[in-house]
Structures are given as structure tokens and as C-alpha cells.
Structure 1
Amino acid sequence: MFSSLKVAALSVLALAAGQALAESHTVTFDNRCGRGTPMLISQTGAVLSTGGAYTINGPLRGAIAYLQTGNCGFNGERCTLVETTLVNPSTAGSGSSTDLSLIAPHSFSVTTGFGYVGACAPAGADCNNANCNTAFHQPSDTFVQVACQKDNANLVITFCL
């Protein structure tokens, strides 16, 4: 009897640990421009992807993405920027958030959009000109942020829609 209780307890602990470690997010690119290199850069400045799908087992905080056409700085300067944090919500409103930014030194370069895949689909945004109302133009434009309050949010970033 004791050994079966012990096995049951260990099974519950293993299941709980597996669920706690199960957070995963994938960012993929759809480059329809026929030129350029999609870039995904971490908050610490590490290049996470140059076009291939990027999966992280855990949260992705403060990443940026853009299409490097030869005119962009390393942090997306002079280009349309996607900013994203992909994280499982621990409390109401604490989940993923993604936006487009044209706040200087960023500026419109190519039509850029993003969309969540899975539970939050079709939430997303597109920007097809320098005056689009779906991108940050100043820091107070917080209404352009697109949230996803579901676990394991994935994102597709598209260039030249």
C-alpha cells in the first residue's frame, strides 16, 4: 500500500513539474518581399533567427523583429519594427503582447504585419504605410498593442503582405 501511494505521489509531482516546464512559444516568418533577411533579436542583443522558425521553451521577453533590407540598423533603426513579449499569463492581463513600432529612429520600410497562431488567432495587426494607425508613432500609442492571454502563444510575422 505504501509503495503505491509513493508512486501516486511521485506521478502527481512529475505531472505538475511537466506542466510548469511546458511553456513554449514559436516565432515564424513569412517573407513575401522576395528580398531581405528576417531578423529576430533578443532583449540582450542576441540574434535568435535570420528567417527560420524560432522556438523557446519558456517566455520570450522584449524581442524585436524586422526585415533587414540593407538599410536597417542592428536594432531595426530606419525600419518597421515588431516588438513582442510571449509569456504564459500568470494573472489577468499578464500574458503576451505584440506591437508594430515606427517611433524614431524606426521608420516605415516594408509592409509588416503579425498574427497570433492558435488560441488567440486571428488577433494581430498590419502596417502598410508610414501613417498607419496600427503602429506606435509615439510612446503614448499603447492602444496599438495586441494582447494574447492564452498559454503558449505563437506568432507569425509577415513582410510585404
Structure 2
Amino acid sequence: MFTSIKAATFAMIAFAAGKALAETHTITFNNNCGRGTPMLISQTGQVLSTGGAFTSNGPLRGAIAYLQTGSCGFNGEGCTLLETTLVNPSTAGSGSSTDLSLIPPHAFSVTTGFGYIGGCAPAGADCNNANCNTAFHVPTDTFVQVACQQDNANLVITFCL
């Protein structure tokens, strides 16, 4: 009897510790444009959100977001694109990274911005015109990437700031 109680106690502690250490990331949208549908698409092409908050229970790698105004392709072609990887850092410099992209076939469509919530706030970026210096214009513009080296980084994406 004592062994089964002991095993159950250890199982409960392990479960609670696992829950406390579980990795989660939430992306929320703020659409101030009065039109359009916020889109969040996974690296595998799955629609994760059309405007509601999305929580990933684990790392979220290579997701894209944009405001579908009717002229954007499924991968955000023709529109301002946001790219993000939200992951707890396992070594220095290996955490989350988010950026805006205007690399063709992407093009400026609406003012787009993002900000981390929590430990990395107020880190983020806004792009309000086709020539903004806070978005990729060519693949070597890596200086526009905004990193977050905190666990469980959350993101808010805003359209029409």
C-alpha cells in the first residue's frame, strides 16, 4: 500500500512540475483597420488563426502572419508579412525571433507592427510605409530581426497602428 501511495505522490509531483515547465506561446491580433482578416499560417501551411488568439503548446517555428485584405496570396504574397519563431532558448541566442518582410513577392499593404509581451517587452517593430527600415527588403537585412531570449514569449500583432 505504501509503495502505491508513494508512486502516486511522485507521479503527481512529476505531473505538476511538467505543467509548471511546459512551454507555451500566445499570439494575439489587434486589427485597427476596420477591414480585413488577420491570418496566422504555420510553416506547414495550416491556418492557425483568422483573428482569434492562438496558443502553441510548445515551440512555434516559421509561422507567418498578415492582414488578408482580399489581395494577399495564401502565403502573404502582395502584402506586408510578419515571420516568427517562438521558442524557449536552450542556449544563448537560440530563443524567439520575429520580423517584418517586404521581400518580393511581399509588398507593403497596411501598417503592421508587433511587440513581445512579458519579459521581452517592449521589444518589437512597426512598418508604416514601403520604405520602412524595420522590415526585410532583401534577404541580408538580418538587422531587422527582433529577438526574445525569455521563456514562453508571447506576441501581439497590430494592423493599422
Q: Same fold (TM over 0.5)?
A: yes
TM-score of the pair, normalised by structure 1: 0.92
Distance 1:49 1:8 in 2: 39
Could you tell me which residue of structure 1 aligns to residue 66 of structure 2?
66
Q: Partners in 1 of 2:100 and 2:38 — Cα distance?
A: 15
Aligned pairs (5 A) from 1:63-102: 63-102=63-102
Instruction: Show the counterpart of 2:129.
Output: 129
Q: What is the number of equivalent residue pairs in this alignment? A: 160
Q: Could you tell me which residue of structure 1 aligns to residue 140 of structure 2?
A: 140
Question: Does 1:18 find its partner at 2:33?
Answer: no
User: For residue 58 of structure 1, what is the amino acid of its counterpart?
Assistant: G
- Distance (Å, rounded) in 1 between the aligned partners of 2:62 and 2:51: 18
**What do the CA deviations read for 1:114-144 (whole angstroms, capped 9, x no partner)?**
0001111000000000000000001100000
Which consecutive segments of 4 or more residues in structure 1 shift more than 6 A?
Answer: 1-5
Q: Which runs of 5+ in 1 are unaligned?
A: none
Alignment match, 2:152: 152
% of aligned pairs identical? 78
Three-state SS of the structure 2 residue aligned to 1:143 is helix
Aligned mates of 1:7, 1:70 — CA distance in 2: 55
1:73-126 Cα offsets, whole Å, 9 max, x none, are: 000000000000001111111110000000000000000000001111000000
Distance 2:146 2:103 in 1: 17
Deviation at 1:3, TM superposition (A): 8.1
Root-mean-square deviation (CA), in Å? 1.7
Q: Residue 76 of structure 1: SS of its match in structure 2? A: coil
Return the alpha-carbon distance in structure 2 between the equivalents of residues 88 and 97 of structure 1. Answer: 11
Q: AA paired with 2:145?
A: Q
Unaligned runs of 5+ in 2: none
Aligned letter for 2:123? A
CA pair 54-6 structure 1, distance change in 2 beyond 3 A: closer
